[in-house]
Amino acid sequence: MVYKMFLLFSVLMMITSFASADSDCNDNNCNNNGNYWVKIKRLSDIDLGEWKGEDFINGTNSLGDKKTFCAISYLEGKKRTMYDPELELIPFSNGKTGQFVVTQGDEEIPITITLDEYSANDAPQALQEFKIGQSVTLAGDDNYDFCKENELTVTVTAYKADIIRAGATGKYEGRFKMEVRPGNSPQPPDPVFIVFSIEVDITPSILISGLEDMTLADGQGLGATESQDFCVFATSKSPFKIKGQSTFGNGVFQLGNNDERIEYQLEVGLPNNGDGNKIILAEGGVFDGHSSWKGDDRLDCAGKENMRLTVTITEDELQQAKPGLYHDTVTLVVAAQ
């Protein structure tokens, strides 16, 4: 008897179609017309950080930050043919003076936005500044035919003078669209874009300036007194308070001459508003202030100081003092109310 054995089996083969696509291309930032492409990638939000009181004091002139991204226009092939894309930065809202701005309510801070090549390893590009309603053109180069070889740096800068001029504290923000057009491509696809935000946070800041050395003269029976004006700057014209410390003082302000001391009074207040706002400071004590004291929103009060300091020595103190040269170093400290 002959036995026959059959082994039945199936061979299955699944053919999967693979499409070549960029993993970081979204609907708005890559487009094509046949093999003609235009792309923009990796441009994210830009945060300039905080502007603090220390920045006024140390002379910091600006706040800035930068981001890296790429923009290319090309014909796909065995070797890509690169074209010269055009980039335009479009604000969602224009500044009052036709500049790029970040805003908080009705307040705005102008910002400067520039475009530059990222490194010497990328396609060379010239430094250019964006202007509202104008485009900048990149130089395409067939030797640099991928986005990773066409990195760009966008730099955003806010300057001290504009921050001070804005006056108000808080978070300023602007929304922008970076649009890329295919430039000199023979069969251009539609433009592509990325929307991103720019932010800067202006924190409450206060600064005292304009104080100089003072020399007191004997008032011939009326004691001795001398005054000088100074400036207190505060963002948003914020109210402030003051305290004073004396080198020779210990709860009272004193001039020193070796072991000898002369007590004096230190008074601060507005220069031209009567005496109702004047406060006599306690040496080394707590901060003190008046409801009428408001900081000037100009860094140096524009030459019109908003506060007055008066030093007074009574006649009794002068009569009891031994002859000699008396001096003291006073530190005034201002803080927001």
Cα–Cα distance, 177 to 192 (Å, whole number): 10
Each residue's pLDDT tens digit, 134-177: 999 999 999 999 999 999 999 999 998 888 778 778 899 999 99
The answer to whether residues 236 and 198 belong to one domain is no
CA 244 from chain centre, in angstroms, equals 31
Answer whether 257's CB lies under 8 Å from 322's CB. Answer: yes
Q: Is residue 6 part of a domain?
A: no
The answer to whether residues 178 and 240 belong to one domain is no
Beta bridge partners of 49: none
Instruction: Identify the helix (H) or strand (E) that includes residue 53.
Output: helix 53-57
Each residue's pLDDT tens digit, 13-46: 343 333 344 667 877 999 999 999 999 999 999 9
DSSP 73-108: EEE-SSSPEE---EEEEEESS--TTSS-EEEETTEE
Q: Which two tokens stand for residue 97?
A: 């003076």
The answer to whether residues 173 and 293 belong to one domain is no
Answer whether 281's CB lies under 8 Å from 249's CB. Answer: no
Answer whether 337's CB lies under 8 Å from 238's CB. Answer: yes
Q: Is residue 10 part of a domain?
A: no
The answer to whether residues 179 and 271 belong to one domain is no
Q: Which two tokens stand for residue 161?
A: 């003078």
50: CATH: 2.60.40.2040
Cα–Cα distance, 197 to 45 (Å, whole number): 5
The answer to whether residues 176 and 222 belong to one domain is no
Average pLDDT score over residue span 242-255? 92
Q: What is the CA radius of gyration of the chain?
A: 34
Residue numbers of the domain that contains 215: 206-336
Residue 87 burial by Cβ neighbours in a 10 Å radius (0-12, 13-18, 19+): buried
Phi/psi of residue 273, each to 5°? -140, 40
pLDDT at 9 over 50: no
Instruction: Identify the helix (H) or strand (E) that includes residue 56.
Output: helix 53-57
Q: Is residue 22 part of a domain?
A: no
- Using the 3D structure, point to which of 151, 180, 202 is the last residue of a domain: 202
Each residue's pLDDT tens digit, 87-144: 999 999 877 878 999 999 888 999 999 999 999 999 999 999 999 999 999 999 999 9
Residue of 189, 197, 159 lying closest to 83 (CA atoms) = 189
The answer to whether residues 183 and 224 belong to one domain is no
- Using the 3D structure, point to which of 164, 180, 202 is the last residue of a domain: 202
pLDDT of residue 48: 95
- Using the 3D structure, point to which of 170, 202, 234 is the last residue of a domain: 202
Q: Is residue 304 part of a domain?
A: yes
The answer to whether residues 265 and 140 belong to one domain is no
> Can you give the pTM of this predicted structure?
0.71
Answer whether 91's CB lies under 8 Å from 203's CB. Answer: no
The answer to whether residues 162 and 262 belong to one domain is no
Q: Is residue 36 part of a domain?
A: yes
- Letter string b/e over residues 196-226, b meaning 16 or more CB atoms within 10 A of that residue's CB: bebbbbbebbbbbebeeeeebeeeeeebbbe
Q: Is residue 8 part of a domain?
A: no
Q: Is residue 67 part of a domain?
A: yes
Q: Is residue 18 part of a domain?
A: no
pLDDT at 56 over 70: no
- Give me the number of domains the chain comprises: 2
Answer whether 129's CB lies under 8 Å from 63's CB. Answer: no
274: CATH: 2.60.40
Residue of 237, 228, 240 lying closest to 330 (CA atoms) = 228
Cα–Cα distance, 209 to 301 (Å, whole number): 9
The answer to whether residues 185 and 254 belong to one domain is no
The answer to whether residues 166 and 43 belong to one domain is yes
Average pLDDT score over residue span 245-274? 90
pLDDT at 316 over 60: yes
The answer to whether residues 155 and 225 belong to one domain is no
The answer to whether residues 58 and 40 belong to one domain is yes
